[in-house]
Structure 1
Amino acid sequence: MAKENLRYLVLTALLAALCAVGGLVKIPVSATASAALDSAPALLAAFVLPPVLAGFTGALGHMATAMSSGMPFGALHFIVAFEMFFIILVFAHLHKKGFHKLKWAWMLIANGVLAAVPFYFLISPAFYIAAVPGLVLATAINIAVAFVCVPALQRVKKMVKS
């Protein structure tokens, strides 16, 4: 059991670090959204980690992006980090339950559209309307990157188990 916990701790740290690196790769979608490749490693975490740890990886990934962007919305990024935790947690649960198409749709809708809803009220409706197209595009790019990487990750996972 301790060996398994250590493996999860190391994988969480590794994938969170990859989220931080991905956070440095900015996606120029709009002036209103801090978009980067920080979600792709968090999506991959859902394939190898328990859902809670995958969610934690997603939250850390967003905070890394926010910090490397200069935290343009300050403390509001903590709201987004919590949202990322929840979005990746649900994504991981959907993966574990075998809802393979639904998990990708969930990610696109939840991260691209729903995650910005609090800012409709906290900042303005115009901010929300301006941010959503860029967030949907950035989410689609993160999904595509993760989707392409999944086969390699599954091969590595099989090698580690044997």
Structure 2
Amino acid sequence: MKQTKLLTLTAMVMALCAIGAMIKIPVFSATAALDAAPAFISAAFLPAAFAGIAGGMGHVLTALTSGMPLGPLHALIAIEMFVVVWVFASLHKKGKHILKWVWALIANGILSPLPFYFIISPAFFFASVPGLLLATAINLVFVAVLLPILQKVFTRNEVRL
């Protein structure tokens, strides 16, 4: 029963990521959308690995709805999103609330595009970083507003996941 509940919640977060993937953030040479916000929010109620899976799949959905401009390299980005969300959720569960925000902004906005400095070109990296930082910040603002509300609702209704 518990595994079914966990898989169902993860699938629901992925569905929210799919909706967010359709809300594009217009930035140069990057696929940016509101797909990451539901995955980051899921840190409140999913184990870190499952939140990470939702984040990675959220990026795949954004790439698919953007026409896959980087082709198979989106698999690398999905793995990076898994790691970013997994660490964010782990930090959240450990009570490292300031560090989780710093991690998410730097890891998703600067570290994630770093491999493309070598794979594609330095110019692509430097062109992508400002837009990715902006997109990450927009996603994190949504998370910062919704996460405390969701946690209060869970606490008030004594929700145990």
Q: TM-score when scaled to structure 2?
A: 0.95
SS, match of residue 116 in structure 1: coil
- In structure 1, distance between residues paired with 2:154 and 2:58: 22
Q: Match of 1:90?
A: 87
**Structure 2 regions of 5+ residues with no counterpart?**
none
Percentage identity across paired residues of the two chains: 54
**SS state of the match for residue 29, structure 1?**
coil
- CA drift of 1:157 comes to 2.2
Structure 1: unaligned runs, 5 residues or longer: none
Q: Output the TM-score relative to the length of structure 1.
A: 0.94
Query: Which residue is equivalent to 1:8?
Result: 6
Q: Distance in 2 between matches of 1:73 and 1:90?
A: 25
What's the offset of the Cα at 1:94? Answer: 0.6
**Which residue matches 2:42?**
45
Amino acid corresponding to residue 153 of structure 1 in structure 2: L
The correspondence for 2:96, drawn from 81, 96, 99, is 99
1:34 aligned onto 2:31: yes
Give RMSD over aligned pairs: 1.1
2:159 maps to: 161
Of 56, 60, 65, the residue aligned with 2:57 is: 60
SS in 2 for 1:113: helix
For residues 95 and 33 of structure 1, the distance between their equivalents in structure 2, rounded to whole angstroms, comes to 27
Count, aligned residues: 159
CA distance in 1, matches of 2:61, 2:51: 15
Report the Cα distance in structure 1 between the residues aligned to 2:126 and 2:6, rounded to whole angstroms: 39
What is the letter of the counterpart of residue 102 of structure 1? Answer: L
Superposed displacement of residue 153, structure 1: 1.4
Distance 2:77 2:159 in 1: 34
What is the aligned partner in structure 1 of residue 19 from structure 2?
A: 21
CA offset digits 1:99-158 (Å, max 9, x no partner): 001001100000000000010011000000000000000000000011111123113323
Q: Once the two structures are superposed, what CA deviation does each residue of 1:31-75 show, in whole Å capped at 9, x if it has no partner?
A: x11000001001011111001000000000000000000101100
Aligned partner of 2:130 in structure 1 is 133
